[in-house]
Amino acid sequence: MSYIDGFVVAVPTENKQAYLEHAKLAGSIFKEYGALQIIEAWGDDVPSGEITSFPLAVKAKDDETVVFSIAIWPSKEVRDSGWQKIMDDPRMQEGENPMPFDGKRLIYGGFEPLLTL
């Protein structure tokens, strides 16, 4: 069964192009190590709530856009193996592919698909 990593982050809106370049490189590395598909989605209609919301979760500022990303893997085993290789890959280090956002406010997690229609 497939496995999914999900990511939510606030990116300074002025860094959209830099984020795209960062995501292209990171995504190609994810795919090199086994990911089947990478989806990067730039926030367009992301309401801010009073109790919960994507902007609240990542402490988005007025000049930031919420980005939602997923990586689809063939299995958790491939993901676990690939993830370690990704973290060790020099191309993913700050000097090679700096994050154009505050990584401390990045939310991520791994998910086992429950239903696919």
pLDDT at 1: 84
**Domain 3-44+53-111 is of which CATH architecture?**
2-Layer Sandwich (3.30)
Rounded distance between C-alpha atoms, residue 61 and residue 85, angstroms? 33
For the whole model, what pTM was predicted?
0.92
In the chain, where the domains are located: 3-44+53-111
Local confidence band at 96 (pLDDT 50, 70, 90 cut-offs):
confident
CB atoms within 10 A of CB 23: 20
User: Is 113's pLDDT higher than 90?
Assistant: yes
